Amino acid sequence: MLLRTMKHMQPAVDPVSVLVDGRGLTVADVVAVARHGASVMLGDDARAAMERSAALVDGFVAGDTPVYGVTTGFGSLANTVIPADRTAELQVALVRSHATGMGATVEPEVVRALLLLRARSLSMGYSGARPELVELQLAFLNNAVTPVVREHGSLGASGDLAPLSHCALSLIGEGEVFTPDGGIEPTWSALARTGLHPVTLRAKEGLALINGTDGILGMLCLALHDMSQLARIADLTAAMSVEGLLGTDRAFAADLQALRPQVGQAVSARNITRLLAGSAIVASHREGDTRVQDAYSLRCTPQVHGAALDTMAHARTIAERELDAAIDNPMILHDGRVESCGNFHGAPVGFVCDFLAIAAAELCSIAERRTDRMLDKARSHGLPPFLSTDAGVNSGMMIAHYTQAAMAMEAKRFAVPASVESLPTSAMQEDHVSNGWAAARKLRRAVDNLRRVLAVELVCAAAAIDLRGPLQPAAGTGAALAVLRERVGGPGPDRWLSPDLRAAEQLLADGTVLSAVEQAIGTLEVM
């Protein structure tokens, strides 16, 4: 049975709950649980599948056949046979020794995604874990008990071993968790407060808890969600820059776009066309303008934004496949076979994390170029220098652009792929690693940078539109301008700009700007 949101089930169940029942978790489900606290529960089919798988493991322990991670050691110790009476001890030792994270704490939403996704994979019944483990993972989520995971430790080889081990450590009552106010406390304290009880691991269960790509995948899902919003915002800020620079909308016409049948390009062009529909600013120079064409940063916006959309669509396909995958090693097959495999290797998700970081960098790059044109008197078609009506004494948006340029350059550094890097570990047993965790970590930073770069373009383009008055912007761009002006003032004497830029960033992050625009002209497209 598919793992699905409960709103597709019987109406008596809480519509924001997510059912963990083997397969089919969506990106939206991950975001709902990880970021918005949606409740989760284990389905009956998954519970039965896990019980059957756990019974097979019990048989392996009672028998004489060596089974990796069940009756043997791990990694290069795979040929070391473990006596039956020490197999449970082996699992606890594994969790403790693999919880080696260092550095800053990982964001709670990432840890929550990691917990959910490991529970999802275990629920498929290929890992030999009892239902009690998943039930406690879900109880952690439902009671806001979030293990402390550290930044460094995962190579994305046997999955996210170190991060998942920190989560597993909390499941056995050890390690640390976040307090409700964001502090850190021992796990036993949180369990006592919430009335939860730690599990006692049995054979295979420690390994099953830590052998997955769940951290990489969780960060990929969160990034896909955020980039789907930021892609629409990028079309919006581009449209506002077109107005501010007295650009034309003719290059975005559907018949021109159809000559190059790239799907993302067509989507972006349609969005920009709708955002500029009815613009008095664009209409004001439709006739008699001596310019033959706009600069690339305006005219080629759909081509660049569209390429990012196509990249997002590919990454979503990979994420959705991974959300339907059983990730562990060895796999306990339903016919009783135990087979080693490499499903824990993070290459598929690591690659697309790097690919998305490239897309984010290009969205930053072209937005910075549009902003730069608005600030340059020689290229802005009548706007004052740096959008200041009293340039000289006042610097206007000059240094706001410096900030944007610094972030755009940082985004390019984040675009350097991590997934091509590898160092052998575990005495050469694990001689090729994905480095997918690192790819996902820098993707999160790339997404944050993109939001900030677009916030600067929003502030500058809004000022440019104001300076084109009394000509009025389009309904879509005008809605963005109006909601921005509730928090950020228009052109005038120099003032402390950092609060303005951060306010604009917050209006993008919380959806205020996009919501206002879509209320005015309808939902913008995204892939």
Average pLDDT of the residues of the chain: 92
Residue 282 has pLDDT above 70, yes or no: yes
Residue 58 has pLDDT above 90, yes or no: no
Q: To which residue do tokens 């350097």 refer?
A: 416
Q: Tell me whether residue 422 is exposed, middle or buried, using C-beta atoms within 10 angstroms of its C-beta: 0 to 12, 13 to 18, 19 or more.
A: middle
* Residue 1 binned pLDDT confidence (cut-offs 50, 70, 90): very low
Q: Which two tokens stand for residue 360?
A: 């984010």
| pLDDT value at residue 74 | 67
pLDDT above 60 (res 279): yes
Q: Which two tokens stand for residue 69?
A: 């991670």
Sequence-separated contacts (24+) of 50-53 with Cβ below 8 Å: 50/122, 50/123, 50/125, 50/129, 50/130, 50/131, 50/134, 51/130, 51/131, 52/125, 52/334, 53/125, 53/126, 53/127, 53/128, 53/129, 53/332, 53/334
pLDDT band at residue 340, thresholds of 50, 70 and 90?
A: confident
Of 218, 308, 298, 203, whose CA–CA distance to 265 is shortest?
308
Query: Is residue 218 over pLDDT 60?
Result: yes
Name the residues annotated as catalytic: 68
Q: What is the pLDDT of residue 66?
A: 77
Q: Is residue 173 within 8 Å of residue 201, measured between CB atoms?
A: no
**pLDDT at site 426:** 78
C-alpha neighbours within 13 Å on the C-beta side of residue 336 = 5
Residues 203-228, mean pLDDT to the nearest whole number: 95
Residue 13: is its pLDDT beyond 60? no
- As a whole number, mean pLDDT of residues 341-360 equals 94
Mean pLDDT of 330-352: 91
Retrieve residue 288's tokens: 């008699």
pLDDT beyond 80 at 421: yes
Q: Are strands 150-152 and 102-105 parallel, antiparallel or unpaired?
A: antiparallel
In CATH, the architecture of 219-331+343-521 is Up-down Bundle (1.20)
Residue 383 has pLDDT above 50, yes or no: yes
In the predicted structure, residue 12 carries a pLDDT above the cut 60: no
Residues 85-98 have a mean pLDDT of: 88
How does DSSP classify residue 389? T
User: With bands split at pLDDT 50, 70 and 90, how would you rate the model's confidence at 76?
Assistant: low
Beta strands in 240-371 (DSSP E): 331-332, 338-339
> Residue 477: what pLDDT?
98
| pLDDT above 80 for 78 | no
Band of residue 3 on the pLDDT scale cut at 50, 70, 90: very low
Q: State the pLDDT at residue 4.
A: 33
Question: Model pTM?
Answer: 0.93
Angle, in degrees to the nearest 10, between helices 436-467 and 347-375? 20
pLDDT score, position 14: 45
Distances (CA, A) of 346 to 30, 183, 187, 317, 420: 18, 31, 29, 15, 12
4-212 and 219-331+343-521 have identical folds: no
Superfamily in which the 4-212 domain is placed by CATH: Fumarase/aspartase (N-terminal domain) (1.10.275.10)
So what's the pLDDT on residue 75? Answer: 65
Q: Is the alpha carbon torsion for 395, 399, 404, 408 positive or negative?
A: positive
Q: How far apart are CA 94 and CA 188, in angstroms?
A: 20
At 114, list the tokens: 């990691």
pLDDT attached to residue 489: 96
What pLDDT was estimated at residue 157? 83
Query: What average pLDDT does this structure show over 329-346?
Result: 89
481 neighbors 465 (Cβ within 8 angstroms):
yes
As a whole-number percent, the residues of the chain with pLDDT over 70 amount to 96
- Structure confidence by residue, pLDDT tens digits, 168-184: 999 999 999 999 999 99
Range of lowest pLDDT (91-100, 110-119, 299-308)? 91-100
Burial of 118 (0-12, 13-18, 19+ CB in 10 A): buried
Q: Torsion over CA of 174, 148, 57 and 433, rounded to 10 degrees?
A: -130
- Please, what is the Cα angle at 361 between 355 and 362, to 5 degrees? 95
CA 260 → CA 50, 277, 292, 359, distances in Å? 50, 23, 21, 20
Q: pLDDT tens for residues 464-507? A: 999 999 999 999 999 999 999 999 999 999 999 999 999 999 99
The tens digit of pLDDT for each residue in 447-458 reads 999 999 999 999
**What is the spatial distance between Cα 477 and Cα 465, in angstroms, rounded to a whole number?**
9
Q: Are the CB atoms for 107 and 441 separated by under 8 Å?
A: no
User: How many residues in total does the chain contain?
Assistant: 527
pLDDT score recorded for residue 527: 86
The span from the CA of 222 to the CA of 209, in Å, is: 22
The domain limits of the chain are: 4-212, 219-331+343-521
* End-to-end C-alpha distance for the chain, whole angstroms: 27
Give the bridge partners for 177, in sequence order: 147, 185
